[in-house]
Structure 1
Amino acid sequence: MSHLITVQESRDLDKKTIEEIGIPSLVLMERAALGIYNDMQTNPELDLTKTLVLVGNGNNGGDGLVVARLLYTHGYDVDLLLVGNPDHSSEDHRAQLKVCQYYQIPIVDTDTDFNDYTTIVDGLFGSGLARDVEGEYKDVIAKANASTAKIHAIDIPSGLNGDTGKEMGIAIKAASTSTIAYEKVGMAKPEATNFTGKIFVDDIGIYRGTKFDND
């Protein structure tokens, strides 16, 4: 059985890997995105003909930006939807957005028809969401859930509590999820199944000990 970690353990492991072990956060972000990209390519449930990547302003959104770049540079039709106040973007998010701008990946607004896409990538929130979803984020999640596109979530479906497995006001209902390093305890709760879909666990170099022990 796979090991499960709490939201706090996830934060602590991230911090340890970056600050103590010395693997840069951008390196981890690239590794995460490569894993997510591979999961999506090998998942027969997803049709990547036309993909929309929902991008929040934190590092979950940064992962989404790298996934979008990988899709775009490998010939897929992909658009970005940036959600949230850009002034609040993380440093890594801003770095990855600059790369996407170099490649001229199209950016659309919230008025775009989500039914025009075959797959939606959820990069809005990570597992550390601490309050109910509201405002523009709530509207975008509702619109994604109501669309005909299948959704692939990054780390955890946005709006799902990583410890309890309950939705925080509203949550993405994903067909599949690429969780980073270890599955979060909330994702294993019975009530989370309708939100996570098929779960992939991606090894990106973040370990509880000195080796990957997720099997």
Structure 2
Amino acid sequence: MIQTISVEESRQLDDKTINQIGIPSMVLMERAGLKIYDDMRNNSDLDLNKVLILAGTGNNGGDGLVVARLLCTHGYDVSILTVGNPDHASEDHVSQQKICDYYQIPKTFMNADFNKYTTLVDALFGSGLSRNVGGDFATVIDKANASTAKIHAIDIPSGLNGDTGEVMGTAIKADSTSTIAYVKAGMVKPTAQPYVGKLFIDDIGIYKGNTFDNE
């Protein structure tokens, strides 16, 4: 049986790994990006011919930016759509955006035609979403769901409650999801199943004990 954790447990494990064990958050973000990139390449359901990263301004978006860079440096056609206020971006997100700028990864905007992409990467929200999705985020989620592109979600499909699996106003309907470290409890709820799709569990060095055990 797959081991699950709550949103609060996820937050505590992140804090323990970064601040007590001493693995820098950027290292964890790099590991996550590499795992997600590999998941996508090894998923025959995805067509990576033309990819759009939907990035929020937090660390989930930062993970998406790492994926964008890996796709770019391995010859894939990838663009980035950043959603949210850049003035409120996390420190790691800002650092990853600078790296993407170095590689001159194209940016696009809200009015982009999502149907011209073969795969969308959902990096809008992590598992800690606590209120209903609105504004530009809701617009982008609904537009993504209505598009012909496949969707790969990072950690949890944006808009799903990590504990209950309920839709917070609207949510990404992913074809596949790379969850980080452990599956969040809400993702195995019946209400969440149509949104999660094929599930990958990525070991990036965040453990409940001193070893990785997801069974």
Q: Normalization by structure 2: what TM-score? A: 1.00
Distance 1:53 1:125 in 2: 13
Which AA in structure 2 matches 1:145?
Answer: N
Tell me the CA shift for residue 206 of structure 1. 0.1
Q: Tell me the secondary structure at the aligned position of residue 173 of structure 2.
A: coil
Distance 2:190 2:134 in 1: 25
> 1:66 and 1:154 mapped to 2: Cα distance?
12
AA in 2 matched with 1:115: N
2:77 — aligned with what? 77
Structure 1 residue 60: deviation in Å? 0.1
- Which runs of structure 2 are paired with 1:122-133 in the superposition (5 Å)? 122-133=122-133
- Residue 57 of structure 2 corresponds to 57
> What is the aligned partner in structure 2 of residue 147 from structure 1?
147
Partner of 2:181: 181
Structure 1 segments, 4+ long, off by >3 Å, are none
Taking every aligned residue pair, what percent have the same amino acid on both sides? 69
Q: For 2:110 and 2:161, how far apart are their aligned partners in 1?
A: 25
Q: Deviations over 1:47-86 (max 9, x none)?
A: 0000000000000000000000000000000000010000
The RMSD of aligned alpha carbons is 0.4
- Alignment of 1:206 with 2:206, yes or no, is yes
What is the Cα deviation at residue 2 of structure 1?
Answer: 1.6
The answer for unaligned runs of 5 or more in structure 2 is none
Question: Equivalent residue for 2:90?
Answer: 90
CA distance in 2: counterparts of 1:23 and 1:11, whole angstroms: 15
Q: Using the alignment, how far apart are the partners of 2:189 and 2:130 within structure 1?
A: 18
- 2:119 counterpart of 1:106: no
Query: In 2, Cα distance between the equivalents of 1:2 and 1:136?
Result: 34
* d(CA) in 2 for partners of 1:2, 1:169: 27
| 1:191 to partner: Cα distance | 1.1
Deviations 1:93-123 (A, max 9, x none): 0000000000000000011100000000000
